[in-house]
Chains A and B, each alone.
Chain A
Amino acid sequence: MSDTALRTARPRSTRTLPGWIGLAVVAFWLLVALFAPLITPHPPAAILRLGMLSPASAAAPFGTDFLGRDMLSRVIYGARYTVGLALLATVFASTIGSVLGILAAVSGGWTDAGLSRSADALISIPHLMFALVIVAALGSSLPVLVGLIAFSYVPGAFRIARSLAANVNAMDFIQVARARGEGTPYIVLHEILPNIMLPVLTDFGLRFVFAVLLLSSLSFLGLGIQPPNADWGALVRENIDGIYDAAPAVIAPAIAIATLTIAVNMMIDGLGGRRLRARLER
Chain B
Amino acid sequence: MLALIAGRIGHTLLTLLAMSVVIFVGTNLLPGDVADALLGQAATPEATAALRTALHLNEPAVLRYLHWLIGLLSGDPGRSLVSHIPVAELIGSRLGNSLLLAGLTAAIAVPVSLLLGLSAAVWRGSAFDHLTTMGTIAAISVPDFLIATIAVIIFAVELQWLPALSTPKVATFAALIASFTLPVLTLSLAVIAQMTRMTRAALVGVLDSSYVEMARLKGLSPARIVFHHALPNAAGPIANAAALSLSSLLGGVIIVEVVFNYPGLAKLMVDAVSTRDMPLIQACAILFCAGYMVLVLLADICSILSNPRLRPA
Binds A, one of B48-56, B121-129, B149-157, B228-236: B149-157
Closest chain-A Cβ to B66's Cβ sits at a distance in Å of: 19
Pair B142/A223 contact, Cβ less than 8 Å: no
Q: Give residues 224-282 of A contacting B (CB, 8 Å).
A: 233, 236, 240, 243-246, 250-251, 254, 257-258, 261-262, 264-265, 269, 278, 281-282
| Chain B residues within 8 Å of A120, by CB | 15
Specify which of B141, B146, B244 is in contact with A209 (CB 8 Å cutoff): B141
| Chain A residues within 8 Å of B158, by CB | 246
| Chain A residues within 8 Å of B138, by CB | 258, 262
Q: Give residues 119-169 of B contacting A (CB, 8 Å).
A: 137-138, 140-146, 149-150, 152-153, 157-158, 164
A197 near B: Cβ within 8 Å?
no
A189 near B: Cβ within 8 Å?
no
Given A138-B29, A138-B30, A254-B150, verify A132-B285 contact (CB < 8 Å).
yes
Specify which of B19, B198, B201 is in contact with A124 (CB 8 Å cutoff): B19
Query: Is the contact region of chain B dominated by helix, strand, or loop, or is it mixed?
Result: helix
B293 near A: Cβ within 8 Å?
yes
Pair A217/B144 contact, Cβ less than 8 Å: yes
Pair B273/A136 contact, Cβ less than 8 Å: yes
| Chain B residues within 8 Å of A136, by CB | 27, 272-273, 276, 278, 281
A62 near B: Cβ within 8 Å?
no
Pair B274/A125 contact, Cβ less than 8 Å: no
Pair A264/B258 contact, Cβ less than 8 Å: no
Specify which of A125, A135, A246, A261 is in contact with B141 (CB 8 Å cutoff): A261
Query: Is the contact region of chain A dominated by helix, strand, or loop, or is it mixed?
Result: helix
Interface size on B, residues (CB 8 A): 51
| Chain B residues within 8 Å of A254, by CB | 145-146, 149-150
Specify which of B22, B29, B258 is in contact with A125 (CB 8 Å cutoff): B22
Interface core residue of A125, A129, A132, A216 (most chain B CB under 10 Å): A129
Interface residue tally of chain A, by bracket? 35 or more
Closest chain-B Cβ to A239's Cβ sits at a distance in Å of: 10
Binds A, one of B91-99, B172-180, B217-225, B248-256: B248-256
Cα distance A222–B278 when bound, in Å?
A: 18
Pair A261/B145 contact, Cβ less than 8 Å: no
Cα distance A209–B143 when bound, in Å?
A: 10
| Chain B residues within 8 Å of A269, by CB | 137
Specify which of B28, B142, B293, B296 is in contact with A137 (CB 8 Å cutoff): B28
Q: Give residues 246-282 of B contacting A (CB, 8 Å).
A: 247, 250-251, 254-255, 258, 269-270, 272-274, 276, 278, 281-282
Pair A127/B149 contact, Cβ less than 8 Å: no
B57 near A: Cβ within 8 Å?
no
Pair A124/B250 contact, Cβ less than 8 Å: no
Cα distance A243–B27 when bound, in Å?
A: 35
Pair A126/B141 contact, Cβ less than 8 Å: no
B215 near A: Cβ within 8 Å?
no
Can you offer 27 A-B residue contacts whose CB atoms are under 8 A?
A121-B19, A124-B15, A124-B293, A124-B296, A126-B251, A129-B269, A129-B289, A132-B270, A133-B23, A133-B26, A134-B26, A136-B27, A136-B273, A137-B26, A137-B27, A137-B28, A213-B141, A236-B146, A244-B157, A245-B157, A250-B149, A254-B145, A258-B138, A262-B137, A262-B138, A262-B142, A282-B198
